[in-house]
Amino acid sequence: MAEPSAYIINSQYKWYAVYTRLNHEKAVELSLLEKGIEDYLPKKKILKTWSDRKKWIEEPLFRPYVFVNISNKEYFKVLQTPSVKNYICFEGKAAQIQDNQIELLKRIISEKFDFEIYYNPIYSTQKVKIIQGPFLGHTGEVEKNNGKSRFLIKIDQLNCSIIIDIDQKCIVPL
C-alpha cells in the first residue's frame, strides 16, 4: 500500500481542454459553473438564417471543446460532468494549455478583434515580441501574407492557429 504522502494533491491551477459531446458545450459550461470549476467557452456571434427570420446567436468557437482551469483536485470532477467525454491528451496525459494562450484568446474575443482560425498547420519562421498595442509583451510567431504581418497564436492541443493582423511597427524579432 502506498504511503499517504503519495496522495498529496498539487493545488496549482492549469488550463486544459475537455472534449464534449457535440453541441453540448454550453450545457457543460453551465454544469462546470455549478460545480464551482473555472471554465472558458470562447464564443462567436453569427447571423443565423432560417426561412422566415434572421437572428444573431452565439456559437462555440472551438467545437466540441471547453477549457477548464483546474488543480489535480478537480481533475475527476470535470470528467464526472454530464456530456464531458475526456481531456485532450498527449501520450496518455491531459495536455496543458499555456496561460498566455488563454489570456490572448480572451482579450481577442472580449475586445472584438478581427481574427481567423485555421485548422491546418501554419508554418512560420519568425518569432516576435509585441512592443506596443493591446497585446504588449506577448510573444508568438508572424506570418507574412500579401505584405501584411499576421500574428499567430498556436494552440497545438487543438491543432489550430488563431491569426490576427498586426501592424509591423508593433513587433520586433526575437
In single-letter form, the type of residue at position 68 comes to V
pTM of the model: 0.80
The C-alpha R_g of the chain, in whole angstroms, comes to 19
Q: Specify the pLDDT at position 79.
A: 96
Q: For residue 150, give every residue at least 6 positions away whose Cβ sits within 8 Å of its Cβ, in sequence order, or none.
A: 142, 143, 144, 163, 164, 165, 166
Which backbone phi and psi does 37 adopt, to 5 degrees? -100, 125
> Dihedral of CA 62/64/70/72: which sign?
negative
Distance of CA 14 to the CA centre of its chain: 12
Q: How far apart are CA 143 and CA 125, in angstroms?
A: 8
pLDDT band at 3 (very low <50, low <70, confident <90, very high): very low
Q: How far apart are CA 125 and CA 90, in angstroms?
A: 25
What grid cell was written down for 19?
472534449
pLDDT tens profile 28-58: 999 999 999 999 999 988 899 989 999 999 9
- pLDDT at 4 exceeding the cut of 50: no
Q: How far apart are CA 95 and CA 98, in angstroms?
A: 10
Q: How far apart are CA 18 and CA 79, in angstroms?
A: 9
pLDDT tens profile 135-163: 888 888 888 766 677 888 888 888 888 88
Assess contact for 151 and 130: CB atoms under 8 A.
Answer: yes
**Domains (ranges, CATH) in the chain?**
11-97 (3.30.70.940), 116-173 (2.30.30)
What grid cell was written down for 40?
472558458
- pLDDT at 97 exceeding the cut of 90: yes
Assess contact for 166 and 133: CB atoms under 8 A.
Answer: yes
Assess contact for 38 and 70: CB atoms under 8 A.
Answer: yes
pLDDT band at 1 (very low <50, low <70, confident <90, very high): very low
Assess contact for 141 and 104: CB atoms under 8 A.
Answer: no
Q: Specify the pLDDT at position 124.
A: 65
